């Protein structure tokens, strides 16, 4: 008889596989949406699209960052602590309270976005962007309903519906976003209206994701036998709601600070550049180029770090109370992070234009190259901060990561305001302020990690090996590109030079002793445990 409880490592591994595959497919769909959309709409069109997305992202983080986690935690607790009809009734209570909370959040947030669209667009100094903000508002309601079920399913360790819903949502966004934009362009609509059609495609994609979660519900209920009646020891609705908010609030605060910062940045950059004497159309084009080309490329390398941090959290948590073991793991974790982050950051800095030309039109890539090169150092800092955040969570000191985020947000807003308001710096102030932001976050979080774990200061000395190998790697890529361009097409030159640089990096790192035994041991520690 099924009990609905976790059924061992097989269930955990299947869940990880489902989500990993769905995440990869989601990234591919996102790439196939953004690249052709950018090439079709250009800098100005993507500025309208991304300005709307910045507003949506903040509402999304406020509404969904913490509650699915809280719902998963409560569902897991009640599933493990009850049985039979009582278990079924309690799990339904958690589901209903969670769904009610998400329904109100989605409805309220969606209304605020839709009816507040002219206000948000005016604050961004782009009045024509109101249509795009209003077009993406329904997505918030759909994603909130889907997130309620996602947290409940996750608590039951049922990951397949979430994986399918993520793919359906991403595929819907890609197909509908491109189709709607193409239709608007065929009809001869203006760029702001075409951008709003593309934004409406995101809402349809989120509707598809919500539909998958709703359709999955009867199957999950039947599979986990959540159909009996029970009234013994039933927690009242306010108790469950209070438990949800207590768990969700810290996660929501941490996640929403940077999204709020991004939204405020979208309101500052264009306004400050126009205030410094730049024409509004030019400011809009520069902002669109930066957010459509440089920012997505910057967000790609840390994807390699996030699975590592997720896997290391239980390893570090298991070492709590064993100071020497904890220090060794923390030092090795930072070494491994540096081995990944340094070459990505250096290569992106020296090969920015060549990388962008693989995906975008030559004129767009030429404009975005300097912005991506300026943003590249932030890859290193963001990767290091992600590891710091994971370590602080593992040792039960997650609040210190929030302090670091608040520090970074303050640096971002102040430096962004000052730099983008300088006519000589203009849009370059945005990537520079982002680098300063993540540098401040990393330094602050790293100080807390050293204080709480007692990790040795020598980990800074260990950074010279991957740093040196990364510099050699980037220089090799640049030199190889120019030599190959004498004989081969540009795309082949870029790909071959990146491959050659990767081989050079591995060889240099090995020769310098950067791939150490404790780092390799760290990669396999969890599997042996």
Render pLDDT for 337-362 as a digit per residue (tens, 0 to 9): 888 899 999 999 999 999 999 989 88
CB atoms within 10 A of CB 528: 6
Residue-wise pLDDT for 82-128, tens only, equals 566 667 777 788 888 888 888 998 999 999 999 999 999 998 888 99
Q: What is the pLDDT of residues 391-402, one digit of tens each?
A: 887 777 778 888
Choose among 286, 266, 290: nearest CA to 356.
Answer: 290
Buried b (16+ CB within 10 A) or exposed e, 276-312: bebeeeebbbbbbbbbbbbbbbbeebbeebeebbebb
Residue 3's pLDDT is 42
Could you give the angle at which helices 130-155 and 160-186 cross, rounded to 10 degrees? 170
Q: Are 137 and 113 in contact (CB under 8 A)?
A: yes
Kindly tell me if the per-residue pLDDT of 512 is higher than 60: yes
Q: pLDDT band for position 456 (50/70/90)?
A: low
Those residues whose C-beta lies under 8 Å from the C-beta of residue 455, and which sit 6 or more positions away, are 326, 327, 330, 331, 334, 449
Least confident of 97-101, 125-129, 239-243, 286-290: 239-243
Q: Could you write out the three-class secondary structure of 405-434?
A: HHHHHHHHHHHHHHHHCCCCCHHHHHHHHH
Calculate mean pLDDT across residues 328-338.
81
What is the pTM assigned to this prediction? 0.77
The domain spans of the chain are: 1-248, 302-394+443-529
- Stronger pLDDT, 473 or 254, i.e. the higher one: 473
Distance CA 335, CA 74 (A): 36
Which range has the worst mean pLDDT, 52-61, 168-177, 285-294, 457-466? 457-466
Q: What is the mean pLDDT of residues 242-251?
A: 75
The answer, yes or no, to whether residue 380 has pLDDT greater than 90, is: yes
Name, in order, each residue with C-beta under 8 angstroms of 474's C-beta and a sequence gap of 6 or more: 343, 346, 347, 349, 350, 351, 501
Higher-pLDDT residue of 309 and 334 is 334
What is the crossing angle of helices 464-484 and 490-511, to 10°?
A: 150
Q: What is the predicted pLDDT for the residue at 85?
A: 67
What would the two tokens of residue 91 be?
């799990």
Residue 303 DSSP class: G
- What pLDDT, on the 0 to 100 scale, is given for residue 310? 62
**Percentage of the residues of the chain whose pLDDT score is greater than 70:** 84
Q: What angle do CA 110, 52, 188 make, to 5 degrees?
A: 110
Residue 13 has pLDDT above 60, yes or no: no
Closest CA to 230 of 79, 74, 87, 75: 87
- HSE-CB at 193 with a 13 A cutoff on CA atoms is 8
* pLDDT average, residue stretch 65-77: 75
């Amino acid at each position: 008889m099924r009990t609905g409880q976790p059924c061992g490592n097989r269930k955990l591994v299947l869940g990880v596989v489902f989500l990993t595959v769905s995440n990869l497919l989601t990234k591919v769909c996102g790439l196939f949406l953004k690249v052709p959309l950018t090439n079709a709409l250009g800098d100005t069109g993507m500025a309208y699209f991304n300005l709307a997305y910045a507003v949506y992202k903040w509402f999304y983080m406020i509404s969904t960052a913490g509650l699915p986690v809280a719902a998963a935690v409560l569902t897991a607790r009640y599933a493990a602590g009850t049985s039979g009809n009582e278990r079924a009734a309690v799990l339904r209570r958690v589901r209903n309270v969670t769904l009610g909370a998400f329904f109100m959040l989605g409805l309220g947030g969606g209304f605020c976005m839709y009816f507040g669209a002219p206000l948000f667009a005016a604050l961004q100094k782009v009045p024509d962007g109101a249509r795009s903000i209003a077009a993406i508002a329904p997505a918030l309601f759909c994603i909130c309903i889907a997130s309620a079920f996602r947290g409940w399913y996750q608590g039951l360790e049922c990951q397949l519906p979430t994986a399918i819903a993520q793919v359906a949502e991403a595929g819907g966004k890609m197909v509908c976003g491109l189709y709607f934009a193409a239709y608007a362009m065929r009809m001869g609509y203006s760029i702001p209206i075409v951008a709003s059609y593309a934004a409406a495609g995101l809402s349809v994609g989120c509707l598809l994701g919500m539909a998958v979660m709703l359709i999955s519900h009867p199957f999950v209920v039947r599979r986990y036998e959540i159909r009996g009646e029970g009234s013994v020891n039933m927690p009242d609705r306010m108790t469950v709601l209070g438990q949800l908010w207590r768990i969700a609030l810290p996660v929501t605060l941490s996640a929403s600070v940077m999204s709020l910062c991004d939204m405020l940045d979208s309101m500052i950059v264009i306004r400050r550049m126009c205030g410094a004497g730049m024409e509004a159309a030019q400011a809009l084009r520069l902002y669109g180029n930066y957010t459509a080309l440089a920012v997505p490329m910057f967000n790609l390398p840390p994807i390699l770090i996030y699975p590592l941090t997720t896997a290391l959290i239980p390893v570090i948590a298991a070492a709590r109370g064993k100071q020497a073991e904890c220090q060794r793991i923390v030092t090795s974790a930072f070494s491994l992070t540096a081995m990944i982050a340094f070459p990505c950051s250096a290569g992106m800095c020296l090969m920015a234009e060549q990388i962008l030309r693989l995906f975008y039109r030559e004129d767009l890539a030429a404009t975005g190259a300097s912005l991506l090169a300026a943003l590249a150092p932030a890859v290193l800092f963001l990767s290091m901060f992600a590891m710091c955040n994971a370590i602080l969570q593992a040792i039960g000191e997650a609040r210190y990561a929030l302090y670091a985020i608040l520090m970074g947000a303050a640096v971002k807003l102040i430096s962004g305001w000052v730099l983008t308001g300088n006519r000589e710096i203009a849009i370059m102030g945005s990537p520079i302020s982002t680098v300063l932001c993540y540098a401040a976050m990393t330094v602050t979080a790293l100080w807390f990690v050293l204080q709480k774990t007692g990790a040795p200061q020598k980990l800074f000395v260990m950074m010279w090996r991957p740093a040196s190998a990364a510099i050699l790697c980037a220089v090799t890529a640049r030199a190889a590109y120019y030599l190959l361009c004498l004989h081969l097409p540009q795309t082949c030159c870029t790909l071959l030079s990146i491959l050659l640089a990767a081989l050079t990096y591995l060889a240099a790192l090995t020769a310098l002793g950067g791939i150490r035994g404790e780092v390799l041991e760290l990669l396999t520690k969890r599997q042996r445990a």
